[in-house]
Amino acid sequence: MISTSQGRLQDRRPLSIIDIGSNSIRLVVYEGLARSPTVLFNEKMLAGLGRGIVSTGKLDPEAVTRSMEEFRRFRALSDQAGAEHMYVLATAAAREAVNGPDFIHRAEDVLKTEIRVLSGRQEAHYSALGVISGFHPANGIAGDLGGGSLELIDINGEAIGDGITLPLGGLRLQDMAKNSLAQAQKIAREQLARAKLLKGGQGRVFYAVGGTWRNLARLHMEMSNYPLGVMHHYEIPADSALSFLKQVTKAEIEKVRGIEGISKNRRSLLPYGAVVLQEIMAAMQPSKIVVSALGVREGFLYSLLDEAEQKADPLISAAEELALLRSRSVHHAHELVEWTGKAFAAFGIDETGDEARYRHAACLLADIGWRAHPEYRGRQSLNIIAHASFIGVDHPGRAYLALAGAYRHDGIFNEGIAPEIKALAPPRILERARLLAAMMRVVYLLTAAMPGIMPRLKWENRPNGALALVLPASLADLYGERPAGRLAQLARITNRRLVLAVENGPSVSVK
CATH assignment of the domain containing 222? 3.30.420.150
Q: What is the pLDDT of residue 245?
A: 96
The answer to whether position 426 is within a domain reads yes
The answer to whether position 157 is within a domain reads yes
Residues of the chain with pLDDT under 70: 1-5
Give whole-number Cα distances, 411 to 55, 77, 284, in Å: 64, 45, 46
**Count of domains observed in the chain:** 4
Q: What is the pLDDT of residue 441?
A: 98
Q: What is the pLDDT of residue 266?
A: 84
Q: Do 153 and 235 sit in the same domain of this protein? A: yes
Of 425, 448, 471, the residue at which a domain comes to its end is 448
Q: Do 402 and 467 sit in the same domain of this protein? A: no
The SS3 assignment for 386 reads helix
Q: What is the pLDDT of residue 13?
A: 94
Q: What is the pLDDT of residue 95?
A: 93
CATH number for 413: 1.10.3210.10
The answer to whether position 304 is within a domain reads no
Q: Residue 294 class from Cβ within 10 Å (0-12 exposed, 13-18 middle, 19+ buried)?
A: buried
Phi, psi of 151 (to 5 degrees): -105, 130
Nearest by Cα to 215 from 182, 171, 247, 259: 259
Q: Do 267 and 186 sit in the same domain of this protein? A: yes
Q: Which domain holds residue 503?
A: 456-510
Structural contact between residues 378 and 410, judged by C-beta atoms closer than 8 angstroms: yes
The SS3 assignment for 42 reads strand
Give whole-number Cα distances, 240 to 100, 214, 224, in Å: 40, 16, 10
Q: Do 112 and 126 sit in the same domain of this protein? A: no
Alpha helices in 177-237 (DSSP H): 181-192, 211-224
Q: Do 124 and 112 sit in the same domain of this protein? A: no
Q: What is the pLDDT of residue 5?
A: 66
Q: Do 369 and 477 sit in the same domain of this protein? A: no
Q: What is the pLDDT of residue 1?
A: 57
Number of continuous H segments (helices) and E segments (strands) in the chain: 21, 15
Q: What is the pLDDT of residue 4?
A: 65
pTM value is 0.95
The answer to whether position 1 is within a domain reads no
Q: Do 279 and 391 sit in the same domain of this protein? A: no
Q: Do 150 and 218 sit in the same domain of this protein? A: yes
Of 74, 95, 116, the residue at which a domain comes to its end is 116
Q: Do 470 and 441 sit in the same domain of this protein? A: no
Q: Do 61 and 186 sit in the same domain of this protein? A: no
Q: What is the pLDDT of residue 3?
A: 63
Q: What is the pLDDT of residue 262?
A: 87
Q: CB neighbours (10 Å) of residue 413? A: 12
The answer to whether position 366 is within a domain reads yes
The answer to whether position 305 is within a domain reads no
